[in-house]
Chain A
Amino acid sequence: QVHLQESGPGLVKPSETLSLKCSVSGGSVSSSNWWSWVRQSPSKGLEWIGEIYHSGTTKDNPSLRSRLTISVDKSENHFSLKLTSVTAADTAVYYCARGGILTWFDIWGRGTLVTVSS
Chain B
Amino acid sequence: EIVLTQSPATLSLSPGERATLSCRASQSVRNFLAWYQQRPGQAPRLLIFDTSNRATGIPARYSGSGSGTDFTLTITSLEPEDFAVYYCQQRSAWPLTFGGGTKVEIK
- Residues in A lying within 8 Å of B, measured CB to CB: 36, 45-48, 51, 59-63, 95, 97, 99-106, 108-111
Contacts and interface: CB of A to CB of B under 8 A. Distances in A.
A106 B46 contact: yes
Contacts of A105: 34, 36, 44, 46, 89
B16 to A, nearest CB: 29
B96 interface: yes
Contacts of B49: 104, 106
* B interface SS class: loop
B68 interface: no
B43 A101 contact: no
B93 to A, nearest CB: 8
B87 to A, nearest CB: 6
8 contacts: A36-B96, A48-B98, A51-B96, A95-B44, A97-B43, A105-B34, A105-B89, A110-B43
Given A47-B98, A102-B91, A104-B46, 8 more contacts: A95-B43, A99-B91, A100-B96, A101-B91, A104-B55, A104-B91, A108-B43, A111-B43
Nearest to A61: B95
Contacts of B43: 95, 97, 108-111
Q: Kindly state the interface size class of chain B when it binds its partner.
A: 20 to 34
B20 interface: no
Contacts of B101: 45-46
A46 B46 contact: no
A46, A59, A62, A109 pick with most chain B CB within 10 angstroms: A46
A95 B46 CA distance: 14
B94 A101 contact: yes
Interface in B19-59: 34, 36, 42-46, 49, 55
A109 B42 CA distance: 9
